[in-house]
A and B are shown apart, each in its own frame.
Chain A
Amino acid sequence: MIKLENITKDYSNAGETVKVLKGITFTIKDGEFVAIMGPSGSGKSTLMHVLGALDTPTGGRYFLDEHDVSSYSQKDLAHIRKDKIGFVFQAFNLLPRATVLRNVALPLIYARVPKEERDKRAREALLSTGLSEDRFEHLSNQLSGGQMQRVAIARALVTNPSLILADEPTGNLDTQTGELVLETFKKLNAKGHTIILITHERDVAEHAQRIIHIRDGLVVKEEVSKN
């Protein structure tokens, strides 16, 4: 369960304070598939950083599975990211000269999972994203964009996190491939994973069950998706 209470975030730049988030409040229940949608400059990236425990808010409270993450130190944030959050980035961010399996198993290295267990879980995660098994030993830079993003999704899944946070996951993909990736998210959600999709595209956002609209650092509208 994710609960944001009046989250604010200020940045000071050259002595000038910019209020990026101005008081955001919403709740996401376990097993939900939610899209956070807004134009560029709306503050959705900053919100993503707060949700992903990459940054702490200036004000307000953020509860992730009853943990008050908003007051955590850098070290504790790293622990929360390791245990509770899986990231999917627009640019995939795979290690280029490592195999697919190694990329997926990477978070488990930091979680001190033994090697055999890592391999097993990485394979399971990859299979659940629909990547064919003959690709597992390929180097990640030998894959197509769609395949890379599925590897990245598998990497986000492999620790079995409370929350999968996808930041414009289809931004670098053509429409058809993007559609496949979004279908993958839907399948994962059907299996019980909580997913937050951050996007500026309505077509993409509509794959989620619920859409939270952000504009100028505030929630302007919440709607249930038509799908």
Chain B
Amino acid sequence: MRIADLLEETYTALSTNKARSALTILGIVIGIASVIAMTAIGQGAQASIESSITSAGANLLYVSPGQQRGVGVSVSAGRGSAQTLTQDDATAIQSSISLVKAVEPEVSRRYQITVKGGNTNTNVIGTTDAYPDVRNTQVAEGVFISSADLQNYNRVAVLGPTTVTDLFGEGSDPLGQKIRINNMEFTVVGVTAAKGGSGFQNPDDAVYVPLTTAQRYLSGDKYVSSIAVEAVDSESMTTVQQQITDLLLQRHNISDPTLADFSVINQADIVATASSVTGTFTILLASIAGISLLVGGVGIMNMMLTNVTERTREIGLRKAIGAEESDISMQFLLESVMLTFFGGAFGIILGWILAWGVQHFGFASTKVTLETVLLAFGVSAAIGIVFGYYPARRASKMNPIVALRFE
């Protein structure tokens, strides 16, 4: 049988029972649409987490204080709260490693911030003038902390846009206003541009003050809670990571690297970890949706078996006039593949609309990729073949004599 004739026969057979074909297709449509939508939600989450990590700046390494370990004892201090890193460590990294572009030490802690008629509890970050460059942050109004502020222990503050709203209300101008951190007065000199970052730390909800001011008036010691190091390019990240480790081990007089009282984390490692988490999340969502696709496939098989039984006499006739087993099995197989093909096509459209709707109405950000669409299409065609094979084989193996006599 020629392909064109085969397609025509298939079309005629399917359009003969439109309602039934449409209902069977619906199972596949729902299955494919949910796979597309669920995968889009998972990949959307992945993309937004990755972008929030990379929006913190490019080619970054984070040095944070770690456990101090003595021989036999382990003084367990929570990462970040241990006090092992100092401003001098940051200066040493900057001056002795050539592949380092910028270094930004910071000390951060949550404080209650009060103004006349408002208060909030947020992260106060003591940092240097390197912050905007290293952390990829723009200043929307006013200025950022200057080197003069650092030298003079000025009590100035730069606010994140969310903090501005929390303290002063929507659309107000905070420049020149006084805020109180830990009962100490600071003057607002700038507001950062919104980054829309989400996830672990929200850069929009923070108060930035000079590092030196923070150390003197807020924490009262010389330690920093982390050092962000920007490498000159992405290729030198690994080298810089190793050099920082060596330098700090030497500075802290530690000979055994496993006893290091700090850790150096590559931004790429964080992205990779987050990606693997969201990847698992995507697979989980897609497998749940996949079950509905499987149910749709069983529906196809059910319909095709009914079809074969109903059309027993037709099969008998076709065999009597010369159809071979392969002609019959191809015809029925093509019918099921055609059903899943159309189901897949409509499912992709519906899934796309769903994904768009989820994003448009603000439930979650979504991302439909070409791979997902192709995969969904391939899976639906495969379902047609897998679930259509048995009914098609059953039809092709029918004895024409018995089939012709079938009432």
Contacts and interface: CB of A to CB of B under 8 A. Distances in A.
Interface residues of A, number: 28
A49 B400 CA distance: 10
A87 to B, nearest CB: 5
Contact of B1 (A91, A110, A155): A110
Nearest to B320: A87
Interface stretch (A32-40, A74-82, A127-135, A191-199): A74-82
Contacts of B404: 54, 89, 93
B325 A74 contact: yes
A110 B320 contact: no
Interface string A44-73: 000001001011000000000000000000
A143 interface: no
Interface residues of B, number: 23
B321 A81 contact: yes
Contacts of A93: 313-314, 316-317, 320, 404
Given A93-B317, A95-B314, A97-B12, A78 B324 contact: yes
A78 B398 CA distance: 13
Contacts, number: 65
A178 to B, nearest CB: 21
A107 B5 CA distance: 12
B322 interface: yes
Contact of B321 (A55, A74, A87, A97): A87
A221 interface: no
Interface string B315-335: 011111111110100000000
Which of the listed residues A49, A74, A109, A111 has the most CB atoms from chain B within 10 Å of its own CB?
A109
What 7 A-B pairs are tightest by C-beta distance, nearest first? A82-B322, A107-B321, A93-B317, A110-B322, A78-B324, A109-B5, A81-B322
Given A93-B313, A93-B314, A98-B12, 19 more contacts: A49-B401, A54-B319, A54-B401, A55-B401, A74-B325, A78-B325, A81-B320, A81-B322, A82-B321, A82-B322, A82-B323, A83-B322, A91-B313, A93-B316, A95-B314, A97-B12, A109-B5, A110-B321, A155-B321
